[in-house]
Structure 1
Amino acid sequence: MTSVRGLWGASHPGPTLVVTVLAIALGVAAGLDPWRIVLLGLAVLAGQVSVGISNDAIDAERDRAVGRSDKPLARGDVSVRAAWIAAISALVVALALSAVLGLGMLAAHAIALASAWAYNAGLKATPFSLLPFLVSFGLFPSFATLSASDPHLAPLWATIAGAALGAAVHLTNVLPDLDDDRRTGIRGLPHRLGPRVSAILAAVAVVGGAIAVLLGPVAGDLAAVAPVSWVFFVAAVVAAVLAAVLVLSGSSGRVVFRLVMLAALLLAAELVATGGALTP
Protein backbone atom coordinates (compact mmCIF):
# COMPACT_ATOMS: atom_id res chain seq x y z
CA MET A 1 0.00 0.00 0.00
CA THR A 2 2.91 2.34 0.65
CA SER A 3 4.09 1.85 -2.92
CA VAL A 4 0.60 2.46 -4.31
CA ARG A 5 0.23 5.65 -2.29
CA GLY A 6 3.71 6.68 -3.36
CA LEU A 7 2.94 6.15 -7.04
CA TRP A 8 -0.29 8.09 -6.74
CA GLY A 9 1.56 10.89 -4.97
CA ALA A 10 4.17 10.90 -7.74
CA SER A 11 1.45 11.29 -10.36
CA HIS A 12 0.85 14.89 -9.25
CA PRO A 13 -2.70 13.99 -8.20
CA GLY A 14 -4.07 17.53 -7.97
CA PRO A 15 -3.34 18.61 -11.55
CA THR A 16 -4.03 15.07 -12.79
CA LEU A 17 -7.56 15.13 -11.40
CA VAL A 18 -8.21 18.68 -12.61
CA VAL A 19 -7.15 17.82 -16.16
CA THR A 20 -9.32 14.68 -16.05
CA VAL A 21 -12.33 16.73 -14.93
CA LEU A 22 -11.60 19.19 -17.74
CA ALA A 23 -11.65 16.34 -20.26
CA ILE A 24 -14.98 15.07 -18.94
CA ALA A 25 -16.44 18.58 -19.06
CA LEU A 26 -15.30 19.02 -22.65
CA GLY A 27 -16.79 15.64 -23.49
CA VAL A 28 -20.13 16.85 -22.15
CA ALA A 29 -19.79 20.12 -24.09
CA ALA A 30 -19.10 18.12 -27.24
CA GLY A 31 -22.27 16.06 -26.74
CA LEU A 32 -20.49 12.71 -26.44
CA ASP A 33 -22.38 9.54 -25.54
CA PRO A 34 -21.96 8.65 -21.84
CA TRP A 35 -19.73 5.65 -22.56
CA ARG A 36 -17.45 7.82 -24.67
CA ILE A 37 -17.22 10.41 -21.88
CA VAL A 38 -16.21 7.67 -19.43
CA LEU A 39 -13.54 6.30 -21.78
CA LEU A 40 -12.28 9.80 -22.50
CA GLY A 41 -11.93 10.52 -18.80
CA LEU A 42 -10.12 7.24 -18.15
CA ALA A 43 -7.79 7.74 -21.12
CA VAL A 44 -6.85 11.24 -20.00
CA LEU A 45 -6.45 10.10 -16.37
CA ALA A 46 -4.06 7.33 -17.42
CA GLY A 47 -2.14 9.71 -19.65
CA GLN A 48 -1.75 12.28 -16.89
CA VAL A 49 -0.62 9.58 -14.45
CA SER A 50 2.06 8.54 -16.95
CA VAL A 51 3.24 12.12 -17.37
CA GLY A 52 3.33 12.86 -13.64
CA ILE A 53 5.13 9.68 -12.60
CA SER A 54 7.65 9.86 -15.45
CA ASN A 55 8.46 13.43 -14.42
CA ASP A 56 9.24 12.39 -10.86
CA ALA A 57 11.18 9.32 -12.04
CA ILE A 58 13.39 11.50 -14.21
CA ASP A 59 13.81 14.08 -11.43
CA ALA A 60 14.34 11.62 -8.56
CA GLU A 61 18.04 12.35 -8.05
CA ARG A 62 17.52 16.08 -8.49
CA ASP A 63 14.68 16.06 -5.95
CA ARG A 64 16.83 14.19 -3.44
CA ALA A 65 19.64 16.71 -3.94
CA VAL A 66 17.41 19.62 -2.94
CA GLY A 67 15.63 17.75 -0.14
CA ARG A 68 12.17 17.54 -1.69
CA SER A 69 10.48 15.68 1.17
CA ASP A 70 7.11 16.14 -0.55
CA LYS A 71 8.18 13.81 -3.37
CA PRO A 72 7.54 10.07 -2.77
CA LEU A 73 10.47 8.95 -4.92
CA ALA A 74 12.85 11.35 -3.20
CA ARG A 75 11.67 10.02 0.19
CA GLY A 76 12.19 6.44 -0.94
CA ASP A 77 8.53 5.45 -0.59
CA VAL A 78 8.71 3.81 -4.01
CA SER A 79 11.63 2.80 -6.21
CA VAL A 80 12.50 4.54 -9.45
CA ARG A 81 12.20 1.18 -11.25
CA ALA A 82 8.63 0.73 -9.98
CA ALA A 83 7.86 4.30 -11.03
CA TRP A 84 9.06 3.65 -14.58
CA ILE A 85 7.00 0.47 -14.80
CA ALA A 86 3.91 2.35 -13.61
CA ALA A 87 4.51 5.29 -15.95
CA ILE A 88 4.96 3.11 -19.02
CA SER A 89 2.00 0.92 -18.10
CA ALA A 90 -0.21 3.99 -17.67
CA LEU A 91 0.98 5.29 -21.04
CA VAL A 92 0.01 2.02 -22.75
CA VAL A 93 -3.41 2.07 -21.07
CA ALA A 94 -3.96 5.69 -22.14
CA LEU A 95 -3.17 4.92 -25.77
CA ALA A 96 -5.23 1.71 -25.77
CA LEU A 97 -8.31 3.52 -24.43
CA SER A 98 -7.75 6.33 -26.92
CA ALA A 99 -7.67 3.82 -29.77
CA VAL A 100 -11.14 2.59 -28.78
CA LEU A 101 -12.40 6.16 -29.22
CA GLY A 102 -10.95 6.39 -32.71
CA LEU A 103 -7.75 6.83 -34.68
CA GLY A 104 -8.05 10.62 -34.53
CA MET A 105 -8.19 10.60 -30.75
CA LEU A 106 -5.33 8.11 -30.63
CA ALA A 107 -3.15 10.33 -32.83
CA ALA A 108 -3.98 13.53 -30.93
CA HIS A 109 -3.43 11.94 -27.52
CA ALA A 110 -0.18 10.31 -28.66
CA ILE A 111 1.16 13.66 -29.88
CA ALA A 112 0.12 15.41 -26.67
CA LEU A 113 1.70 12.73 -24.47
CA ALA A 114 4.89 12.70 -26.55
CA SER A 115 5.07 16.46 -26.09
CA ALA A 116 4.57 16.17 -22.32
CA TRP A 117 7.17 13.41 -21.98
CA ALA A 118 9.60 15.51 -24.06
CA TYR A 119 9.14 18.31 -21.53
CA ASN A 120 9.95 15.91 -18.70
CA ALA A 121 12.95 14.50 -20.55
CA GLY A 122 14.73 17.80 -20.99
CA LEU A 123 12.78 20.59 -22.69
CA LYS A 124 11.84 21.99 -19.27
CA ALA A 125 15.46 23.07 -18.82
CA THR A 126 15.52 25.09 -22.05
CA PRO A 127 14.06 28.38 -23.32
CA PHE A 128 11.54 26.22 -25.24
CA SER A 129 9.93 24.84 -22.07
CA LEU A 130 6.64 26.52 -22.98
CA LEU A 131 6.30 24.68 -26.30
CA PRO A 132 5.05 21.32 -24.94
CA PHE A 133 2.29 23.10 -23.03
CA LEU A 134 1.17 24.97 -26.12
CA VAL A 135 1.07 21.73 -28.09
CA SER A 136 -0.53 19.47 -25.48
CA PHE A 137 -3.11 21.94 -24.19
CA GLY A 138 -3.79 23.24 -27.67
CA LEU A 139 -4.74 19.72 -28.71
CA PHE A 140 -6.71 19.09 -25.53
CA PRO A 141 -10.14 20.38 -26.70
CA SER A 142 -9.84 18.14 -29.76
CA PHE A 143 -9.68 15.07 -27.51
CA ALA A 144 -13.41 15.49 -26.95
CA THR A 145 -14.38 16.27 -30.53
CA LEU A 146 -12.19 13.49 -31.95
CA SER A 147 -13.85 11.03 -29.55
CA ALA A 148 -17.27 11.66 -31.10
CA SER A 149 -19.02 9.20 -33.41
CA ASP A 150 -18.41 11.82 -36.12
CA PRO A 151 -14.86 12.87 -35.22
CA HIS A 152 -13.58 16.34 -36.02
CA LEU A 153 -11.00 18.79 -34.75
CA ALA A 154 -12.12 21.33 -32.18
CA PRO A 155 -12.87 24.86 -33.44
CA LEU A 156 -9.91 27.20 -33.73
CA TRP A 157 -11.09 29.34 -30.81
CA ALA A 158 -11.07 26.26 -28.54
CA THR A 159 -7.54 25.37 -29.64
CA ILE A 160 -6.39 28.93 -28.93
CA ALA A 161 -8.06 28.87 -25.51
CA GLY A 162 -6.42 25.52 -24.68
CA ALA A 163 -2.97 26.73 -25.71
CA ALA A 164 -3.40 29.95 -23.73
CA LEU A 165 -4.38 28.07 -20.60
CA GLY A 166 -1.46 25.68 -21.13
CA ALA A 167 0.89 28.67 -21.21
CA ALA A 168 -0.61 29.99 -17.97
CA VAL A 169 -0.29 26.59 -16.30
CA HIS A 170 3.40 26.34 -17.15
CA LEU A 171 4.22 29.92 -16.19
CA THR A 172 2.68 29.50 -12.73
CA ASN A 173 3.31 25.82 -11.94
CA VAL A 174 7.07 26.28 -11.61
CA LEU A 175 6.98 29.47 -9.52
CA PRO A 176 7.24 27.75 -6.08
CA ASP A 177 10.25 25.72 -7.27
CA LEU A 178 12.32 28.38 -9.02
CA ASP A 179 15.14 28.38 -6.47
CA ASP A 180 15.38 24.57 -6.24
CA ASP A 181 15.32 24.33 -10.04
CA ARG A 182 18.15 26.80 -10.44
CA ARG A 183 20.28 24.81 -7.99
CA THR A 184 19.92 21.72 -10.16
CA GLY A 185 20.39 23.35 -13.56
CA ILE A 186 16.77 23.78 -14.64
CA ARG A 187 16.36 27.06 -16.52
CA GLY A 188 13.14 26.97 -18.46
CA LEU A 189 11.40 30.01 -19.83
CA PRO A 190 9.75 31.06 -16.52
CA HIS A 191 13.14 30.86 -14.77
CA ARG A 192 14.61 33.20 -17.36
CA LEU A 193 11.67 35.60 -17.25
CA GLY A 194 11.41 35.68 -13.46
CA PRO A 195 8.32 35.30 -11.28
CA ARG A 196 6.83 38.74 -11.86
CA VAL A 197 6.96 38.69 -15.65
CA SER A 198 5.79 35.06 -15.68
CA ALA A 199 2.81 35.90 -13.48
CA ILE A 200 1.77 38.85 -15.64
CA LEU A 201 2.06 36.78 -18.82
CA ALA A 202 0.07 33.97 -17.19
CA ALA A 203 -2.72 36.39 -16.27
CA VAL A 204 -2.76 37.77 -19.82
CA ALA A 205 -2.92 34.21 -21.19
CA VAL A 206 -5.87 33.29 -18.96
CA VAL A 207 -7.74 36.43 -19.96
CA GLY A 208 -7.01 35.69 -23.62
CA GLY A 209 -8.29 32.14 -23.21
CA ALA A 210 -11.37 33.43 -21.41
CA ILE A 211 -12.13 35.84 -24.27
CA ALA A 212 -11.79 33.01 -26.78
CA VAL A 213 -14.23 30.84 -24.82
CA LEU A 214 -16.63 33.76 -24.39
CA LEU A 215 -16.74 34.91 -28.00
CA GLY A 216 -15.75 31.80 -29.97
CA PRO A 217 -19.07 29.92 -29.69
CA VAL A 218 -21.05 33.00 -30.82
CA ALA A 219 -18.67 33.98 -33.64
CA GLY A 220 -17.69 37.20 -31.86
CA ASP A 221 -21.23 38.52 -31.45
CA LEU A 222 -21.28 40.13 -27.99
CA ALA A 223 -25.06 40.48 -28.10
CA ALA A 224 -25.39 36.70 -28.40
CA VAL A 225 -23.33 35.92 -25.29
CA ALA A 226 -25.51 34.29 -22.63
CA PRO A 227 -25.59 35.87 -19.15
CA VAL A 228 -24.19 32.67 -17.60
CA SER A 229 -21.19 32.94 -19.91
CA TRP A 230 -20.47 36.43 -18.60
CA VAL A 231 -20.57 35.12 -15.04
CA PHE A 232 -17.99 32.40 -15.72
CA PHE A 233 -15.87 34.81 -17.79
CA VAL A 234 -15.71 37.39 -15.00
CA ALA A 235 -14.92 34.70 -12.41
CA ALA A 236 -12.05 33.34 -14.54
CA VAL A 237 -10.63 36.81 -15.10
CA VAL A 238 -10.83 37.61 -11.38
CA ALA A 239 -8.94 34.38 -10.60
CA ALA A 240 -6.24 35.30 -13.13
CA VAL A 241 -5.84 38.84 -11.84
CA LEU A 242 -5.73 37.66 -8.23
CA ALA A 243 -2.99 35.17 -9.12
CA ALA A 244 -0.91 37.93 -10.72
CA VAL A 245 -1.45 40.27 -7.75
CA LEU A 246 -0.34 37.59 -5.30
CA VAL A 247 2.94 37.07 -7.16
CA LEU A 248 3.55 40.80 -7.61
CA SER A 249 3.00 41.28 -3.88
CA GLY A 250 5.72 38.76 -3.10
CA SER A 251 3.79 35.50 -2.84
CA SER A 252 4.90 32.61 -5.02
CA GLY A 253 3.04 29.84 -3.26
CA ARG A 254 1.10 27.06 -4.92
CA VAL A 255 -2.11 29.00 -4.42
CA VAL A 256 -1.19 30.96 -7.56
CA PHE A 257 -1.06 27.80 -9.65
CA ARG A 258 -4.34 26.63 -8.11
CA LEU A 259 -6.01 29.87 -9.11
CA VAL A 260 -4.98 29.27 -12.71
CA MET A 261 -6.35 25.73 -12.58
CA LEU A 262 -9.56 27.15 -11.09
CA ALA A 263 -9.82 29.54 -14.03
CA ALA A 264 -9.48 26.58 -16.41
CA LEU A 265 -12.27 24.72 -14.61
CA LEU A 266 -14.48 27.81 -14.74
CA LEU A 267 -14.02 28.09 -18.50
CA ALA A 268 -14.81 24.41 -18.96
CA ALA A 269 -17.92 24.86 -16.82
CA GLU A 270 -18.89 27.77 -19.05
CA LEU A 271 -18.79 25.50 -22.10
CA VAL A 272 -20.98 22.94 -20.35
CA ALA A 273 -23.42 25.58 -19.11
CA THR A 274 -23.88 27.11 -22.54
CA GLY A 275 -24.36 23.64 -24.08
CA GLY A 276 -23.17 22.28 -27.41
CA ALA A 277 -20.32 24.78 -27.78
CA LEU A 278 -17.97 22.14 -29.23
CA THR A 279 -20.52 20.46 -31.48
CA PRO A 280 -20.10 21.04 -35.24
Structure 2
Amino acid sequence: MPEAPAKPPLIGALWGATHPGPTLVVTALSLALGIATGLEPSRLVLLVVSVFAGQVSVGLSNDAIDAARDIAVGRADKPVAGGALTPQRALAVAVASVVVAVALSAPLGPGLVAAHAVALASAWAYNAGLKSTPVSIVPFLLSFGLFPSFATLSLPDPAFAPVWASLAGAALGAAVHLTNVVRDLDDDRATGVRGLPHRLGARASVVLAAAGIVVGAVAVLIGSGGGLVGTLFFGAVVLVAVATMALALARPPGRAVFQLTMLAALLLAAQLVAT
Protein backbone atom coordinates (compact mmCIF):
# COMPACT_ATOMS: atom_id res chain seq x y z
CA MET A 1 0.00 0.00 0.00
CA PRO A 2 1.27 3.54 -0.73
CA GLU A 3 2.44 5.52 2.24
CA ALA A 4 0.28 8.38 3.46
CA PRO A 5 1.75 11.79 2.60
CA ALA A 6 3.77 13.29 5.44
CA LYS A 7 2.15 16.15 7.29
CA PRO A 8 3.93 19.52 7.07
CA PRO A 9 5.71 20.80 10.22
CA LEU A 10 3.50 22.58 12.73
CA ILE A 11 4.98 26.02 12.04
CA GLY A 12 4.47 25.55 8.30
CA ALA A 13 0.88 24.44 8.83
CA LEU A 14 0.17 27.42 11.09
CA TRP A 15 1.67 29.83 8.58
CA GLY A 16 -0.33 28.28 5.75
CA ALA A 17 -3.54 28.80 7.74
CA THR A 18 -2.90 32.51 8.29
CA HIS A 19 -3.83 33.33 4.66
CA PRO A 20 -0.21 34.42 4.02
CA GLY A 21 -0.90 36.56 0.94
CA PRO A 22 -3.40 38.98 2.52
CA THR A 23 -1.46 38.91 5.81
CA LEU A 24 1.74 40.07 4.14
CA VAL A 25 -0.02 42.64 1.93
CA VAL A 26 -1.79 44.31 4.87
CA THR A 27 1.42 44.22 6.93
CA ALA A 28 3.39 45.79 4.07
CA LEU A 29 0.72 48.47 3.70
CA SER A 30 1.04 49.33 7.40
CA LEU A 31 4.80 49.67 6.89
CA ALA A 32 4.33 51.95 3.88
CA LEU A 33 1.77 54.13 5.67
CA GLY A 34 3.98 54.33 8.75
CA ILE A 35 6.96 55.48 6.68
CA ALA A 36 4.81 57.98 4.78
CA THR A 37 3.49 59.35 8.08
CA GLY A 38 7.02 59.82 9.39
CA LEU A 39 6.97 57.37 12.30
CA GLU A 40 10.28 57.01 14.08
CA PRO A 41 11.85 53.51 13.74
CA SER A 42 10.88 52.18 17.17
CA ARG A 43 7.24 53.14 16.73
CA LEU A 44 7.22 51.86 13.17
CA VAL A 45 8.47 48.44 14.26
CA LEU A 46 5.81 48.20 16.97
CA LEU A 47 3.08 49.18 14.51
CA VAL A 48 4.14 46.72 11.82
CA VAL A 49 4.60 43.77 14.19
CA SER A 50 1.28 44.45 15.93
CA VAL A 51 -0.53 44.60 12.57
CA PHE A 52 1.18 41.35 11.52
CA ALA A 53 0.08 39.62 14.73
CA GLY A 54 -3.47 40.87 14.24
CA GLN A 55 -3.60 39.58 10.67
CA VAL A 56 -2.26 36.21 11.80
CA SER A 57 -5.14 36.00 14.28
CA VAL A 58 -7.71 36.86 11.62
CA GLY A 59 -6.45 34.27 9.16
CA LEU A 60 -6.15 31.48 11.73
CA SER A 61 -9.57 32.17 13.23
CA ASN A 62 -11.10 32.10 9.75
CA ASP A 63 -9.74 28.63 8.98
CA ALA A 64 -10.51 27.31 12.47
CA ILE A 65 -14.13 28.47 12.36
CA ASP A 66 -14.62 27.36 8.75
CA ALA A 67 -13.01 23.93 9.20
CA ALA A 68 -16.25 21.95 8.82
CA ARG A 69 -17.29 23.94 5.73
CA ASP A 70 -13.86 23.59 4.12
CA ILE A 71 -13.85 19.84 4.73
CA ALA A 72 -17.34 19.55 3.23
CA VAL A 73 -16.20 21.09 -0.06
CA GLY A 74 -12.87 19.28 -0.17
CA ARG A 75 -10.51 22.19 0.56
CA ALA A 76 -7.57 19.90 1.31
CA ASP A 77 -5.24 22.77 0.32
CA LYS A 78 -6.04 24.41 3.66
CA PRO A 79 -3.97 23.06 6.58
CA VAL A 80 -6.93 22.77 8.96
CA ALA A 81 -9.29 21.14 6.47
CA GLY A 82 -6.46 18.93 5.19
CA GLY A 83 -5.71 17.59 8.68
CA ALA A 84 -2.27 19.17 9.12
CA LEU A 85 -3.58 21.41 11.91
CA THR A 86 -6.45 20.96 14.34
CA PRO A 87 -9.12 23.69 14.58
CA GLN A 88 -8.52 23.86 18.34
CA ARG A 89 -4.81 24.58 17.93
CA ALA A 90 -5.42 27.12 15.18
CA LEU A 91 -7.97 28.92 17.36
CA ALA A 92 -5.67 28.89 20.39
CA VAL A 93 -2.84 30.50 18.42
CA ALA A 94 -5.31 32.98 16.93
CA VAL A 95 -6.41 34.10 20.41
CA ALA A 96 -2.77 34.38 21.54
CA SER A 97 -2.02 36.49 18.45
CA VAL A 98 -4.85 38.90 19.31
CA VAL A 99 -3.35 39.38 22.77
CA VAL A 100 0.08 40.03 21.24
CA ALA A 101 -1.38 42.48 18.70
CA VAL A 102 -3.15 44.56 21.36
CA ALA A 103 -0.17 44.39 23.75
CA LEU A 104 2.21 45.68 21.08
CA SER A 105 -0.24 48.48 20.23
CA ALA A 106 -0.34 49.67 23.86
CA PRO A 107 3.02 51.54 23.89
CA LEU A 108 1.81 53.55 20.89
CA GLY A 109 -1.13 55.00 22.79
CA PRO A 110 -4.75 54.31 23.75
CA GLY A 111 -6.01 55.63 20.43
CA LEU A 112 -4.25 52.93 18.45
CA VAL A 113 -5.21 50.26 20.98
CA ALA A 114 -8.88 51.20 20.60
CA ALA A 115 -8.75 51.41 16.79
CA HIS A 116 -6.84 48.15 16.44
CA ALA A 117 -9.16 46.36 18.89
CA VAL A 118 -12.25 47.54 17.00
CA ALA A 119 -10.78 46.50 13.65
CA LEU A 120 -9.85 43.05 14.95
CA ALA A 121 -13.20 42.56 16.67
CA SER A 122 -14.89 43.47 13.39
CA ALA A 123 -12.79 40.95 11.44
CA TRP A 124 -13.44 38.19 13.96
CA ALA A 125 -17.18 38.99 13.87
CA TYR A 126 -17.08 38.45 10.11
CA ASN A 127 -15.39 35.08 10.56
CA ALA A 128 -17.80 34.10 13.32
CA GLY A 129 -20.97 34.58 11.30
CA LEU A 130 -21.44 37.99 9.69
CA LYS A 131 -20.05 36.53 6.44
CA SER A 132 -23.38 34.73 6.03
CA THR A 133 -25.54 37.85 6.31
CA PRO A 134 -26.55 40.71 3.97
CA VAL A 135 -24.23 43.02 5.98
CA SER A 136 -21.13 40.91 5.35
CA ILE A 137 -19.40 43.94 3.83
CA VAL A 138 -19.67 46.04 7.01
CA PRO A 139 -16.64 44.54 8.81
CA PHE A 140 -14.49 45.30 5.76
CA LEU A 141 -15.75 48.88 5.56
CA LEU A 142 -15.08 49.38 9.27
CA SER A 143 -11.70 47.63 9.58
CA PHE A 144 -10.19 49.00 6.38
CA GLY A 145 -11.74 52.41 7.01
CA LEU A 146 -9.87 52.55 10.32
CA PHE A 147 -6.63 51.21 8.85
CA PRO A 148 -5.15 54.50 7.54
CA SER A 149 -5.51 55.89 11.07
CA PHE A 150 -3.24 53.20 12.53
CA ALA A 151 -0.16 55.13 11.40
CA THR A 152 -1.41 58.58 12.42
CA LEU A 153 -2.61 57.29 15.82
CA SER A 154 0.90 55.88 16.39
CA LEU A 155 2.48 59.35 16.27
CA PRO A 156 3.59 61.03 19.51
CA ASP A 157 0.80 63.53 18.79
CA PRO A 158 -1.91 61.07 17.69
CA ALA A 159 -4.82 61.93 15.41
CA PHE A 160 -7.22 60.14 13.11
CA ALA A 161 -6.36 60.09 9.42
CA PRO A 162 -8.25 62.55 7.17
CA VAL A 163 -11.76 61.51 6.15
CA TRP A 164 -10.67 61.09 2.53
CA ALA A 165 -8.01 58.55 3.58
CA SER A 166 -10.56 56.61 5.63
CA LEU A 167 -12.95 56.63 2.68
CA ALA A 168 -10.20 55.22 0.44
CA GLY A 169 -9.49 52.52 3.03
CA ALA A 170 -13.16 51.58 3.20
CA ALA A 171 -13.34 51.40 -0.61
CA LEU A 172 -10.30 49.14 -0.60
CA GLY A 173 -11.91 46.86 1.98
CA ALA A 174 -15.16 46.68 0.05
CA ALA A 175 -13.28 45.72 -3.12
CA VAL A 176 -11.35 43.00 -1.31
CA HIS A 177 -14.54 41.48 0.10
CA LEU A 178 -16.67 41.71 -3.02
CA THR A 179 -13.98 40.34 -5.30
CA ASN A 180 -12.36 37.74 -3.07
CA VAL A 181 -15.67 36.00 -2.33
CA VAL A 182 -16.52 35.75 -6.04
CA ARG A 183 -13.97 32.95 -6.46
CA ASP A 184 -15.71 30.82 -3.82
CA LEU A 185 -19.38 31.52 -4.58
CA ASP A 186 -20.27 27.92 -5.45
CA ASP A 187 -18.46 26.40 -2.45
CA ASP A 188 -20.02 28.98 -0.14
CA ARG A 189 -23.53 28.33 -1.42
CA ALA A 190 -23.01 24.60 -0.90
CA THR A 191 -22.23 25.19 2.79
CA GLY A 192 -24.93 27.77 3.50
CA VAL A 193 -22.88 30.97 3.31
CA ARG A 194 -24.93 33.79 1.78
CA GLY A 195 -23.25 37.12 2.29
CA LEU A 196 -23.77 40.27 0.25
CA PRO A 197 -21.71 39.12 -2.77
CA HIS A 198 -23.69 35.86 -2.94
CA ARG A 199 -26.94 37.82 -3.03
CA LEU A 200 -25.66 40.28 -5.64
CA GLY A 201 -24.04 37.71 -7.90
CA ALA A 202 -20.53 37.65 -9.37
CA ARG A 203 -21.00 40.30 -12.08
CA ALA A 204 -22.71 42.87 -9.85
CA SER A 205 -20.15 42.30 -7.09
CA VAL A 206 -17.19 42.95 -9.40
CA VAL A 207 -18.80 46.05 -10.93
CA LEU A 208 -19.63 47.42 -7.48
CA ALA A 209 -16.07 46.72 -6.28
CA ALA A 210 -14.53 48.53 -9.25
CA ALA A 211 -16.93 51.49 -8.88
CA GLY A 212 -16.06 51.73 -5.18
CA ILE A 213 -12.35 51.82 -6.02
CA VAL A 214 -12.96 54.75 -8.38
CA VAL A 215 -14.86 56.58 -5.61
CA GLY A 216 -11.94 55.97 -3.26
CA ALA A 217 -9.45 57.25 -5.85
CA VAL A 218 -11.51 60.41 -6.39
CA ALA A 219 -11.60 60.99 -2.61
CA VAL A 220 -7.81 60.69 -2.38
CA LEU A 221 -7.25 62.95 -5.38
CA ILE A 222 -9.51 65.71 -4.07
CA GLY A 223 -8.61 65.34 -0.39
CA SER A 224 -4.86 65.27 -0.90
CA GLY A 225 -4.80 68.13 -3.37
CA GLY A 226 -3.61 65.92 -6.22
CA GLY A 227 -0.06 66.66 -7.30
CA LEU A 228 1.73 64.95 -10.16
CA VAL A 229 2.27 61.60 -8.44
CA GLY A 230 -1.24 61.49 -7.02
CA THR A 231 -2.75 62.37 -10.41
CA LEU A 232 -0.74 59.65 -12.16
CA PHE A 233 -1.89 57.03 -9.68
CA PHE A 234 -5.46 58.29 -9.98
CA GLY A 235 -5.36 57.87 -13.75
CA ALA A 236 -3.97 54.34 -13.41
CA VAL A 237 -6.65 53.37 -10.87
CA VAL A 238 -9.49 54.68 -13.04
CA LEU A 239 -8.09 53.05 -16.19
CA VAL A 240 -7.83 49.60 -14.58
CA ALA A 241 -11.19 49.93 -12.77
CA VAL A 242 -13.04 50.93 -15.94
CA ALA A 243 -11.41 48.04 -17.83
CA THR A 244 -12.54 45.71 -15.05
CA MET A 245 -16.14 46.90 -15.24
CA ALA A 246 -16.19 46.62 -19.03
CA LEU A 247 -14.82 43.08 -18.93
CA ALA A 248 -17.25 42.02 -16.20
CA LEU A 249 -20.21 43.39 -18.15
CA ALA A 250 -19.04 41.76 -21.40
CA ARG A 251 -18.72 38.21 -20.08
CA PRO A 252 -19.07 36.17 -16.88
CA PRO A 253 -16.34 37.24 -14.42
CA GLY A 254 -13.33 34.93 -14.44
CA ARG A 255 -9.76 34.92 -13.20
CA ALA A 256 -8.76 37.89 -15.38
CA VAL A 257 -11.50 40.07 -13.86
CA PHE A 258 -10.44 39.09 -10.35
CA GLN A 259 -6.82 39.95 -11.10
CA LEU A 260 -7.75 43.30 -12.63
CA THR A 261 -9.85 44.24 -9.61
CA MET A 262 -7.03 43.35 -7.24
CA LEU A 263 -4.63 45.39 -9.39
CA ALA A 264 -6.96 48.40 -9.17
CA ALA A 265 -7.17 47.92 -5.39
CA LEU A 266 -3.38 47.78 -5.06
CA LEU A 267 -3.04 50.93 -7.17
CA LEU A 268 -5.53 52.66 -4.88
CA ALA A 269 -3.43 51.61 -1.90
CA ALA A 270 -0.32 52.97 -3.61
CA GLN A 271 -2.14 56.23 -4.38
CA LEU A 272 -3.10 56.53 -0.72
CA VAL A 273 0.47 55.94 0.46
CA ALA A 274 1.99 58.27 -2.15
CA THR A 275 -0.28 61.17 -1.17
TM-score w.r.t. the length of structure 2 is 0.92
Counterpart in 1 of 2:252?
250
Code of the aligned partner of 1:89? A
Give yes or no for contact 2:145–2:169 (8 Å, CA) kept in 1. Answer: yes
| Contact 2:168 2:268 survives alignment (8 Å) | no
For residues 125 and 47 of structure 1, do their structure 2 counterparts lie closer, same or farther at Cα, with a shift above 3 Å needed?
same
* Displacement after TM superposition at 1:238 (Å): 2.9
Give the equivalent residue in structure 1 for 2:263.
Answer: 262
C-alpha spacing 1:264/1:32, structure 2 compared with 1 (3 Å): farther
Residue 250 of structure 1 aligns with an amino acid whose one-letter code is P
Within 5 Å, give how 1:1-280 maps onto structure 2: 2-218=9-225, 225-248=226-249, 249-253=251-255, 256-274=257-275
Unaligned runs of 5+ in 1: 219-224, 275-280
Tell me, in whole angstroms, the C-alpha distance in 1 between the residues paired with 2:205 and 2:123. 20
Deviation at 1:186, TM superposition (A): 0.1
Aligned counterparts of 1:4 and 1:84: Cα–Cα separation in 2: 14
Which 10-residue stretch deviates more, 43-52 or 239-248?
Answer: 239-248
Identity %: 64
Is 1:157–1:216's contact at 8 Å kept on the other side of the alignment?
yes
CA distance in structure 2 between the aligned counterparts of 1:46 and 1:147, rounded to whole angstroms: 16
What is the CA distance between 1:235 and its match in structure 2? 1.9
- Deviant stretches of 4+, over 6 Å: none
Whole-angstrom CA distance in 1 between matches of 2:102 and 2:153: 14
Contact 1:10/1:73 (CA < 8 Å) preserved in 2? yes
Moved more, 31-40 or 60-69: 31-40
| Deviations 1:203-230, CA, capped at 9 Å, x for gaps | 0011111111111112xxxxxx222212
SS of the aligned residue for 2:85 comes to coil
Q: What value does the CA root-mean-square deviation take over the aligned residues? A: 1.6
Task: For CA contacts below 8 A with separation 6 or more, give which structure has more relative contact order.
Answer: 1
Residue correspondences, number: 267
TM-score, normalised by the number of residues in structure 1: 0.90
Q: Give, in whole Å, the separation in 2 of the partners of 1:31 and 1:239.
A: 30
